[in-house]
């Protein structure tokens, strides 16, 4: 059994109300952008899934990611940037939740499960000069 990404939600067991809002904006984007066969394919997939007993019996409806993904595609955003755009869109919410948490003396908003116990201050060491556990290896630092 495989998953079809963009369908279903862990919290919303019926159609996600946020997805309805994004869908209405998606339709506006599709009208304003040039023809894209992948967008047409995605909208047909949506129609088929909404008419399919397998999906409806399991309450698997298009979610926010489904519509945001096809909007990004219609806007010609490279797929490798989808996660970045997704995170940027949530940054204001994450910051506001953090502010609420830090300004609430009872800290009712969030209950962190981890406590940082590392050094408060550290000197910056350029990546090329790092050794041992501090060394970060990646495409820019791998030996050729």
How far apart CA 36 and CA 94 sit, in angstroms, is: 33
Q: How far apart are CA 122 and CA 63, in angstroms?
A: 43
Q: Which CATH superfamily is domain 1-77 in?
A: Cytochrome P450-Terp, domain 2 (1.10.230.10)
> What residue spans define the domains of the chain?
1-77, 88-113
pTM of whole model > 0.95? no
Q: Helix (H) and strand (E) counts for the chain?
A: 5, 0
Tell whether the model's pLDDT for residue 127 goes beyond 90.
Answer: no
The tens digit of pLDDT for each residue in 90-114 reads 899 989 988 887 887 877 656 667 7
Task: Evaluate if residue 141 carries a pLDDT over 50.
Answer: no
3-state secondary structure of 62: strand
Q: Where are the alpha helices (DSSP H) in the chain?
A: 17-32, 37-50, 53-57, 64-74, 82-103
Q: What is the mean pLDDT of residues 113-120?
A: 79
Active site residues: 9, 65
Q: Please give the residue that has the higher pLDDT: either 113 or 65.
A: 65
What is the Cα–Cα distance from 52 to 61, expressed in whole angstroms?
A: 11
What is the length of the chain?
A: 144
């Amino acid at each position: 059994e495989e998953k079809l990404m963009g369908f279903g939600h862990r919290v919303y067991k019926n159609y996600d109300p946020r997805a309805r809002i994004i869908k209405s904006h998606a339709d506006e984007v599709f009208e304003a952008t040039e023809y894209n066969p992948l967008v047409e394919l995605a909208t047909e997939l949506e129609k088929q899934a909404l008419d399919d007993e397998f999906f409806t019996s399991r309450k698997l409806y298009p979610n926010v990611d489904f519509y945001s993904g096809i909007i990004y595609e219609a806007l010609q955003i490279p797929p490798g940037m989808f996660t970045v755009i997704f995170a940027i869109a949530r940054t204001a919410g994450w910051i506001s939740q953090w502010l609420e948490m830090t300004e609430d003396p009872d800290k009712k908003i969030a209950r962190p499960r981890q406590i940082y116990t590392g050094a408060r201050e550290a000197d910056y060491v350029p990546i090329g000069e790092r050794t041992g556990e501090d060394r970060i290896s990646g495409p820019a630092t791998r030996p050729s």
